[in-house]
């Protein structure tokens, strides 16, 4: 199964009998799955179908589905609302006996809101049902196009994430080989610190100082963190290779990468190791940002 982005766009046109329609689908990043529709009046009964199909095909992202429908060859009919007109004429007749006023004109009466009504002709049930079936089929095509676009972007994201893993692995190997983490280098730095302390006071016990030096050296070792980083790299590559909706799992691994790199930086008492840790932290952040786009 291919990787898939959460962003995409698709549009489909169609026609059935006197009806012409268009679907427009757009999906954006989200923590879960959300489907939002905008349908013309009278077409709400297709909403459950398109919602169910979207939920079956997609696992994450907010999807906006907009349907527009136009009916051709159906001239609107203008008619007079007799009840409203009768009420207005009654009021006008009552007022004519009480005030000196000009009798209402025809165009004046027709301009009053509610007197004239624009009525759509009755729809043919068979034509409408056929149109709704065609609209549902067009939605399937639009959804497929949306998925295709998301998968194409997912392939590009997979390549970017693999490159970030290569960079993290390269920096981890560089940290592994850094002269500053060799036992003799750590011992030399500790000796310098201890010598500086001994110069300021003669109350330090040499054996106790040696024990403390061993403990400090053990705490400064980043072997455990480098091993976990290597494990996370292997897991990430396996997930990317397997494909599918792996965004949440990669987001968790991004947090774990960040935790291990932060520990490496906090343990480091060597400038080169610190710089490597900061460079690795920057790559991990780039990895995390790209993962947010993945389904």
Q: What is the Cα–Cα distance from 72 to 17, expressed in whole angstroms?
A: 9
pLDDT top residue among 164 and 125: 164
Rounded to two decimals, what is the model's pTM? 0.72
Q: At 98, is the secondary structure helix, strand, or coil?
A: coil
Can you list the alpha helix ranges (DSSP code H) found in 27-124?
47-57, 82-96, 106-110
Farthest CA pair distance, the chain = 121
CA-to-CA distance for 176 and 191, rounded, in angstroms?
22
Tell me what pLDDT residue 205 has.
Answer: 66
Q: d(Cα 1, Cα 270) in Å, to the nearest integer? A: 44
Q: How far apart are CA 13 and CA 36, in angstroms?
A: 20
Which residue has tokens 């940002």? Answer: 289
* 3-class SS of residue 24: strand
CATH 3.30.230 in the chain is located at 8-73+124-151
pLDDT digits (tens, 9 = 90+) for 45-66: 999 999 999 999 999 999 999 9
**Quick count: other Cβ atoms within 10 Å of Cβ 275?**
16
Query: How far is the C-alpha of 223 from the C-alpha of 214, rounded, in Å?
Result: 16
Whole-number average pLDDT of the chain:
85
Ranges in the chain annotated CATH 1.20.140:
153-291
Is the pLDDT at 74 greater than 60? The verdict is: no
Q: CA torsion 133→51→120→112, rounded to 10°? A: 180
Tens of pLDDT, residues 226-254 = 999 999 999 999 999 999 999 999 999 99
Local confidence band at 264 (pLDDT 50, 70, 90 cut-offs): confident
Tell me how far apart the alpha carbons of residues 33 and 39 are, in angstroms, rounded to a whole number.
20
More confident residue, 280 or 122: 280
Give the pLDDT score at 157. 96
Reported as a single tens digit per residue, the pLDDT across 79-102 is 777 787 788 777 777 767 667 666
pLDDT, residue 116, reads: 76
Identify the residue with better confidence: 184 or 261. Answer: 261
Indicate whether 176 pLDDT > 70.
Answer: yes
Question: Is 284's pLDDT higher than 60?
Answer: yes
pLDDT of 204-232, one tens digit each?
666 666 666 666 666 667 888 999 999 99
Instruction: Write the CATH number of the domain with boundaries 8-73+124-151.
Output: 3.30.230
Q: Which two tokens stand for residue 51?
A: 């919602």
Smallest Cα–Cα separation from 10: which of 190, 181, 142? 142
The average pLDDT across 8-36 equals: 95
Q: Other CB atoms closer than 10 Å to residue 250's CB: what's the count? A: 22
Q: Are strands 33-38 and 61-71 parallel, antiparallel or unpaired?
A: parallel
Let me know if 4 is exposed, middle or buried by CB neighbors in 10 A (0-12, 13-18, 19+): buried
For residue 121, what is the enclosing H or E element? none
Residue with tokens 């027709």, as numbered in its chain: 110
Tell me yes or no: is domain 153-291 CATH 1.20.140.
yes
């Amino acid at each position: 199964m291919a990787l898939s982005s959460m962003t995409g766009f698709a549009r489909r046109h169609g026609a059935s009998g006197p009806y012409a329609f268009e679907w427009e689908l757009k999906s954006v990043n989200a923590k879960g799955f959300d489907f939002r529709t905008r349908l013309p009046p009278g077409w709400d009964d297709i909403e459950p179908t398109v919602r169910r199909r979207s939920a079956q095909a997609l696992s994450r992202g907010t999807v906006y589905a907009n349907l527009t429908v136009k009916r051709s060859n159906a001239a609107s009919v203008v008619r007079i609302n007799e009840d409203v007109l009768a009420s207005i004429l009654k009021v006008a007749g009552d007022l004519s006996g009480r005030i000196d006023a000009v009798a209402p004109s025809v165009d004046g009466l027709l301009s009053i809101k509610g007197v004239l009504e624009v009525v759509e002709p009755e729809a043919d049930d068979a034509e409408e049902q056929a149109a709704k079936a065609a609209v549902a089929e067009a939605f399937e095509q639009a959804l497929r196009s949306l998925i295709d676009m998301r998968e194409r972007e997912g392939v590009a994201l997979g390549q970017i994430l693999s490159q970030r893993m290569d960079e993290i692995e390269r920096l981890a190997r560089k940290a592994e080989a850094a002269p500053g983490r060799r036992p003799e280098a750590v011992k030399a730095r500790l000796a310098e610190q201890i010598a500086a302390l001994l110069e300021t006071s003669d109350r330090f016990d040499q054996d106790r100082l040696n024990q403390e030096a061993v403990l400090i050296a053990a705490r400064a070792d980043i072997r455990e963190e480098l091993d976990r980083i290597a494990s996370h790299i292997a897991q990430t590559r396996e997930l990317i290779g397997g494909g599918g909706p792996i965004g949440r799992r990669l987001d968790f691994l991004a947090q774990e990468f960040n935790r291990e790199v932060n520990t490496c930086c906090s343990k480091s008492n060597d400038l080169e190791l610190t710089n490597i840790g900061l460079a690795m932290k920057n790559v991990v952040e780039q990895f995390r940002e790209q993962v947010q786009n993945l389904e």
